[in-house]
Amino acid sequence: MTALLLLPLLLPFAVPALARRALDRLAPVTALWVITVSAVVLAGCSLAALGGFVLTGLLKLPVFAALGELVRPLPTPSDLVVVPAAAVSVGALAVCAGTLVRAALREFRAFRSARTEACRRPAAGDLCVVDSPHPDAYALPGRPHRIVVTTAMLRSLDVAEREALFAHERAHNRGGHHYFLAAAELAAHCHPALRRVRGTIRLAAERAADEAAAAAVGDRRLTARAIARAALAGQDARSTRPDLAPAAASGPVPHRVKALLATPHVPRRAAAWIAALLVACTALSFASSATGVLVVHHRVEIAQGEESR
Amino acid sequence: MTDAKDERRPAGELEASVMAVLWAAGAPRTPGQVQRSLGAELARTTVTTILTRLHDKGVVERSRQGRGYAYYPVQDAHGLTARRMHSELDRDTDRETVLARFVAQLSPQDERVLRDLLEPGER
């Protein structure tokens, strides 16, 4: 039982590397789906496994054993394993719940304030322009979908590049990418290894929107140039703000630009393999956590005298 | 892009493109100037229609210029929206989680790589 419940907690550590390869090899939209679904299932399974440990540990305590109407002691491995495992699990679940609620509130507040500001004035089509010296642009999902762009961003791009930017943001809205980003955020708070997967999911969403934009404007090079110009414009504006910490060594923007400048993706056998591996990993996690929880349930029933050994 | 493709685009997208030209210009623009900035892929009457519609919505103002009008975006009161938005959104650097932003921050190395990709000839 312990091994069955440990597996879902260990499997997520294999996923960041797999997810990164999947993004490199699969079409961006496919990668976005496969990685996000995997992350969510793995997060759910690791929570279930923690729950299994907590339940077993609690039923070892006389108070809870009485509450659970156990007539026999719960058949488990040694108390030396079960009790510390339960204690650690309780701590981990508490941390998860805390950060989840905080993150959800923060997201909701940021989203609501962006929405209120964007709706304050009538938009031109779906475009909401913010008069600001900081180059910035983002998709604002909702009813109706909006794209928010600052004047500084509009001025640092030429007409064709602006069309690529708009096409990119519209692709985010049309593809419902905010659901994927929210799912990635939730998963990241459920298991520490899934934090790195969150970055991969964000990148996959950007890549999907980049490809859609390139298709809409009919020019991959132009789309790459728009992204690079926008990023560099943001950098120039930021040089006066030294309080911002530098990002990791190689960020997502050069990756996106290079991917657009490279020849379009051709499906390969490696892509199928990596996707299969990711799905297998997820399925294994699901199977072991489900079996683990069923075993716990079965043992509780035995201890309750409802079922014979 | 061909003329036909441009004329077929949803009205909302055309409005957005025209609005972007006005904001990027920073000075009043006549329909003819807007049309030229857009790469002359739209009929001038289409541009005029869009500008009139934007004016009706109250997102652009216009002033007499010669026989027609020159249009410019309505500034919001002292950039209030921008400031409120930035103070609210800059509070967390994590805000890009659900709001998918166009570009993320760059590291110095990213910047070099991008400049090289933009101008492969000059280093």
Q: Per-residue pLDDT tens for A21-62?
A: 888 888 899 999 999 999 999 999 999 999 988 888 888 887
- CB contact at 8 A, A45 and A89: no
pLDDT tens, A169-186? 999 999 999 899 889 988
Residues 6+ positions from A269 with CB-CB distance below 8 Å: none
pLDDT band at B12 (very low <50, low <70, confident <90, very high): confident
Q: For residue A97, give the DSSP letter.
A: H
The more confident residue out of A224 and B123 is A224
Q: For residue B91, give the DSSP letter.
A: T
Q: From CA B7, how far away is CA B38, in angstroms rounded?
A: 13
| Mean pLDDT of the region A284-293 | 93
A141 Rama class: left (phi>0) / alpha (psi -120 to 50) / beta: beta
| Mean pLDDT of the region B83-103 | 56
- Give the E-state strand segments of chain A in sequence order: 127-130, 137-140, 146-150
Does the pLDDT of residue B123 top 70, yes or no? no
Q: From CA B121, how far away is CA A276, in angstroms rounded?
A: 42
Q: Three-class SS of residue A147?
A: strand
Selecting from B24, B99, B110 the residue whose C-beta is nearest the C-beta of A111 gives B99
Q: From CA A226, how far away is CA A203, in angstroms rounded?
A: 17
Q: Which of A86-90, B51-55, B100-104 has the lowest mean pLDDT?
A: B100-104
Q: Three-class SS of residue B72?
A: strand
Q: From CA A84, how far away is CA B110, in angstroms rounded?
A: 45
Half-sphere exposure of A58 (CA within 13 A, CB side): 15
B72 Rama class: left (phi>0) / alpha (psi -120 to 50) / beta: beta
Q: Three-class SS of residue B65?
A: strand
CB contact under 8 A, A218 and B115: no
CB A174: neighbour CB atoms within 10 A? 14
Residues in chain A: 309
Provide the residue ranges of all domains of chain A, joining segments of one domain with +. Answer: 2-240+249-263+271-303
Residue A83's pLDDT is 81
Contacts of A114 in chain B (CB under 8 A): 85, 88-89, 99
Residue A241's pLDDT is 36
pLDDT band at B42 (very low <50, low <70, confident <90, very high): confident
Place of tokens 């990119």: A168
pLDDT tens, A205-257? 999 999 999 999 988 999 999 998 888 887 766 544 333 333 333 568 888 88
| Mean pLDDT of the region A287-302 | 89
- CB contact at 8 A, A112 and A92: no
Q: Where are the alpha helices (DSSP H) in A120-219?
A: 151-156, 159-174, 177-190, 194-217
Residue B38's pLDDT is 85
Q: Which residue of B has its CA nearest to A216?
A: B1
The more confident residue out of A120 and A280 is A280
Q: Three-class SS of residue B71?
A: strand
CB contact under 8 A, B19 and A125: yes
- Give the E-state strand segments of B1-123 in sequence order: 60-65, 68-73
pLDDT band at A19 (very low <50, low <70, confident <90, very high): very high
Residue A40's pLDDT is 95
Shortest CA gap B76–chain A (Å): 8
Q: From CA A154, how far away is CA B102, in angstroms rounded?
A: 12
Place of tokens 């998860």: A96
pLDDT band at B84 (very low <50, low <70, confident <90, very high): low
Instruction: Report the amino acid identity of residue B50.
Output: I
pLDDT tens, A96-153? 999 889 888 888 887 787 777 766 666 777 888 888 788 888 888 877 888 888 888 8
Selecting from A110, A120, A184 the residue whose C-beta is nearest the C-beta of B81 gives A120
| Mean pLDDT of the region B88-109 | 61
Contacts of A232 in chain B (CB under 8 A): 106, 111, 114-115, 118
Q: Of the candidates B17, B112, B100, which has an alpha carbon nearest to the alpha carbon of residue A257?
A: B112
Q: Which of A188-202, A284-298, B22-36, B64-78 has the lowest mean pLDDT?
A: B64-78
- CB contact at 8 A, A72 and A302: yes
Percent above pLDDT 90 for chain B: 6
Residue A231's pLDDT is 85
Contacts of B2 in chain A (CB under 8 A): none
pLDDT band at A271 (very low <50, low <70, confident <90, very high): confident
Does the pLDDT of residue A304 top 50, yes or no? yes
Residue A166's pLDDT is 92
Distance of CA A191 to the CA centre of its chain: 11
- Identify the structural domains of chain B with CATH numbers, from first to last: 3-73 (1.10.10.10)
CB contact under 8 A, B104 and A110: no
Q: Of the candidates A23, A9, A16, A97, which has an alpha carbon nearest to the alpha carbon of residue A53?
A: A9
Residue A214's pLDDT is 92
Residue A238's pLDDT is 53
